[in-house]
Amino acid sequence: MAQWAVPVSAGAERCVRRQNDYRSRNLYWITEARRRLYVAGFVGASTSYIFSALAFTGQFDVREWFVFVVVFLAVFFGFEKGMLWAETLESE
């Protein structure tokens, strides 16, 4: 018998529980992927900024790097939300 073909009298609750488990696992994967994307973007942008600052000025200021990181993550987050907004308009 298939996983979703559970008779109502034999445990519809179990079927619903399996669906909810699938949704929670899928949601966990999405948040894990987003976290990895943010970390990868942060590491790449920070490395790029540090090497560029050292190459062109010969010095590194932590405050300037911190401001760069904050602005970068804000733009990154805004771009992600903009893409999600555009996808919802496309699906309608």
pTM: 0.59
Q: What's the pLDDT at 45?
A: 93
Q: How many other C-beta atoms are found inside a 10 Å radius of the C-beta of residue 74?
A: 10
Quickly count: other Cβ atoms within 10 Å of residue 15's Cβ: 16
Residue 39 is encoded by which pair of tokens?
């970390």
pLDDT per residue as tens digits for the range 6-55:
445 555 555 555 555 555 565 566 678 888 888 999 999 999 999 999 99
- Asked if 73 and 44 touch (Cβ cutoff 8 Å), the reply is no
User: Comparing C-alpha atoms, which of 84, 91, 92, 90 is closest to residue 34?
Assistant: 84
